[in-house]
């Protein structure tokens, strides 16, 4: 155990001199948090030789911890460290780098908690930057392309998607100046955009582009060195395969997609990166997914307002409702309703995404009880419409889609 601790510390010390944070994928979320705190303490010392570099690294580490855990506290600590870095800049290029880091935090805030305003704030951070180094210019272009891609996916407009795709292509072409982790995130975003647009438009060229990106990422990301990147690429490939299988009604493709999700889940453990585990678990959810697995995912995503937390909660509640209906258990449905109502009434401030998830679950509960008792489910259409609108306003199309799927054609609000 002593040898492990000593070797791990050597890894940290060596990695401190590198801009590539890929080594973080080898350590769990708890150790990332420990190192983020230590880096901030060192950067804040009066004797710190390079406080700007220290604060920038502290911000990146806190940001990675927030990305893996969904912790608002860690996200705010990342923002605070980036602000401290901005106060210690000694050149225009460092000022630009600090602004890019701040933009990356806004992007992550959107990914975790929704809210299109976060994208607007991030775009403002990267506009009109004066970048002296080629690496900083490439980082600014990469962040700008990723932000535009997210905004384009929210609007769904063809022109915006094409423009975003062109920006991602240009940024990927210039990725040689980027740290490997940033370049990988860029390629994952391009694959996600190409896959989504390719499925929606039945565009073979876009689907081929997504396939090439994902294949390259999986082949380059060794499970012994980059397990999380490999898992994200495998999960995205599984999502694409599942979508294509649904379009073609191909059972073999369904099985292949399931195999890809299983391979992604095998790359790491739930405590290593709780949110990655929850995302992959939810993406691979089937009607046969055990409630225990969904409950575990919910326990890992309890941060109020967390998008993946709202999605997991809705899926878990829906699964419980479906099980109770299958068993003809009206008493259990009444108990579930009481739990949801109590949660909503006891919360001092219910986050919009959490509220939307509970509205979808409650609507499904009312419909199930109506089917069992032969009564009418009132106001269900209105509940689902409001949940859908809230989810869309928050930039959470996946949750809005769940409201649409729950909407029965015969029910009026």
Which of 254 and 9 is assigned the larger pLDDT? Answer: 254
Q: Residue 48: phi, psi to the nearest 5?
A: -60, 125
CA distances from 202 to 47, 198, 199, 249 (A): 59, 5, 5, 15
Residues 6+ apart with CB under 8 A from 354: 304, 305, 309, 310, 313, 347
Residues 6+ apart with CB under 8 A from 361: 313, 314, 317, 318, 321, 340
Q: Please give the pLDDT value at position 165.
A: 93
Q: Which of 286, 284, 288, 312 is nearest to 299 (CA)?
A: 312
Which of 393 and 4 is assigned the larger pLDDT? Answer: 393
Residue 409 has pLDDT above 80, yes or no: no
Residue 147 has pLDDT above 50, yes or no: yes
Dump pLDDT digits (tens) for 14-61: 555 666 778 889 999 999 999 999 999 999 999 999 999 999 999 999
Q: Please give the pLDDT value at position 127.
A: 78
Q: Please give the pLDDT value at position 338.
A: 95
Cα separation, 218 vs 233, in Å, equals 6
Instruction: Supply the mean pLDDT for the chain.
Output: 90
Cα separation, 49 vs 67, in Å, equals 29
Residue 322 has pLDDT above 50, yes or no: yes
The tokens describing 277, both together, are 């585990």
Q: Please give the pLDDT value at position 245.
A: 82
Residue 195 has pLDDT above 70, yes or no: yes
Q: What is the CB neighbour count within 10 angstroms for residue 287? A: 6
Average pLDDT over residues 234-255: 85
Of 88-102, 172-186, 340-354, the one with minimum mean pLDDT is: 340-354
Q: Please give the pLDDT value at position 252.
A: 84
Q: Tell me the pLDDT band of 287, cut-offs 50, 70 and 90.
A: low
The whole model's pTM is what? 0.92
Q: Tell me the pLDDT band of 206, cut-offs 50, 70 and 90.
A: confident
Q: Which of 95, 100, 56 is nearest to 78 (CA)?
A: 56
């Amino acid at each position: 155990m002593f040898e492990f601790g000593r070797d791990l510390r050597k890894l940290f010390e060596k990695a401190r001199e590198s801009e590539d944070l890929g080594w973080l994928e080898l350590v769990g979320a708890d150790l990332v948090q420990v190192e983020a705190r230590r880096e901030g303490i060192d950067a804040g010392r009066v004797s710190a030789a390079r406080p700007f570099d220290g604060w920038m690294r502290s911000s990146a580490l806190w940001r990675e911890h927030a990305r893996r855990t969904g912790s608002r506290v860690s996200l705010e600590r990342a923002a605070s460290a980036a602000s401290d870095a901005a106060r210690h800049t000694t050149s225009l290029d460092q000022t630009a780098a600090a602004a890019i880091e701040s933009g990356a935090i806004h992007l992550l805030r959107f990914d975790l908690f929704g809210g299109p305003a976060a994208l607007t704030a991030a775009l403002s951070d990267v506009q009109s930057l004066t970048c002296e180094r080629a690496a900083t210019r490439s980082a600014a272009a990469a962040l700008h392309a990723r932000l535009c891609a997210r905004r384009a996916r929210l609007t769904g407009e063809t022109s915006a998607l094409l423009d975003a795709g062109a920006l991602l292509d240009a940024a990927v072409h210039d990725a040689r100046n980027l740290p490997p982790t940033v370049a990988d995130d860029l390629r994952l975003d391009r694959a996600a955009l190409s896959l989504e647009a390719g499925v929606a438009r039945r565009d073979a060229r876009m689907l081929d582009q997504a396939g090439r990106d994902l294949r390259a990422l999986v082949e380059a990301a060794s499970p012994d060195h980059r397990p999380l990147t490999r898992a994200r690429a495998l999960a995205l490939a599984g999502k694409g395969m599942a979508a294509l299988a649904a379009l073609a009604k191909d059972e073999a493709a369904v099985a292949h997609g399931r195999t890809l999700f299983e391979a992604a889940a095998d790359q790491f453990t739930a405590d290593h990166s709780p949110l990655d585990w929850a995302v992959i678990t939810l993406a691979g959810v089937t009607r046969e997914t055990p409630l225990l697995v969904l409950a575990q995912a919910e326990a890992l995503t309890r941060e109020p307002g967390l998008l993946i937390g709202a999605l997991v909660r809705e899926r878990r509640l829906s699964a419980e409702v479906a099980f109770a209906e299958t068993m003809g258990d009206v008493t259990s449905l009444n108990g579930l309703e009481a739990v949801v109502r109590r949660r909503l009434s006891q919360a001092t401030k219910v986050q919009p995404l959490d509220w939307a998830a509970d509205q979808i679950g409650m609507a499904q509960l009312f419909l199930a009880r109506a089917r069992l008792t032969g009564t009418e489910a009132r106001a269900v259409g209105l509940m689902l419409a409001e949940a859908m609108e809230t989810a869309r306003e928050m930039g959470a199309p996946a949750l809005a889609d769940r409201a649409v799927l729950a909407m029965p054609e015969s029910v009026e609000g």
